[in-house]
Amino acid sequence: MSAGILILMLNAVPDISQTKYKYVGVNTCTGVCHNSESQGDQYIIWKESAHSKAYKTLQTIQADSIASSKGFTSPASETPECVRCHTIGKIPDESEFQASFDITQGVQCESCHGPGSGYKSGSIMRDKDKAVKNGLILHTEKRKFCITCHNSESPTYFEFNYEPMWEMIAHSKPKESE
């Protein structure tokens, strides 16, 4: 097979390591929407949760010493293996970030609901099916999803007890406003 054909074939293979959507950052989700009682106060609940501080946790002496005890030579906040669970749930690739995305905001809306460039506009977001078609992730098997990060690969892992842990971050939309 000639090299030209091989390159053509490689180009035709979709790159599943990258999604076609980009991360827009929590401020985009909560600037106008998701920031009021009638919506369910997602912003305040998230801001007060440990998830919003997850990246800053990596900038501590405690985190650096955990990283070095695991054999890493870089500071925790610059060690991809630490950063992945403390941000978007996978090793960050800057080409997937829009300028508004700020990694220091830790585990954000899009870490759980998928990169938002395709579904962020109000007209799409108001139609749940449309939003899902444009990248929004909703979870039915919530526990299974949480333990993609809350598992024994975490150096400080403690048993993940779904019900009380969900209660600590629950941010559903109030029923009457639907």
Residues that bind ligand HEC (CB under 6 A): 26, 29-30, 34, 40, 42-43, 46, 50-51, 53-54, 57-58, 62-63, 66-67, 70, 72, 76, 79, 81-82, 85-86, 89, 107, 109, 111-113, 138-139, 142, 145-146, 148-151, 153-158, 165-166, 168-169, 171-173
Q: How far is the CB of 152 from ligand HEC (least distance, A)?
A: 8
Compute the distance between CA of residue 170 and CA of residue 162 in angstroms, rounded to an integer: 11
Q: How far is the CB of 42 from ligand HEC (least distance, A)?
A: 4
Residue at 102: amino acid letter: D
| Residue (of 83, 71, 72) closest to 154 by Cα position | 83
Task: Return the CA Rg of the chain.
Answer: 18
The answer to whether the beta carbons of residues 88 and 148 sit under 8 Å apart is no
Residue 97 or 145 having the CB closest to ligand HEC: 145
Residue 7 or 168 having the CB closest to ligand HEC: 168
Compute the distance between CA of residue 125 and CA of residue 31 in angstroms, rounded to an integer: 14
The answer to whether the beta carbons of residues 23 and 101 sit under 8 Å apart is yes
Q: How far is the CB of 4 from ligand HEC (least distance, A)?
A: 41
Question: Tokens for 59?
Answer: 């900038």
Residue 11 or 73 having the CB closest to ligand HEC: 73
Q: How far is the CB of 46 from ligand HEC (least distance, A)?
A: 4
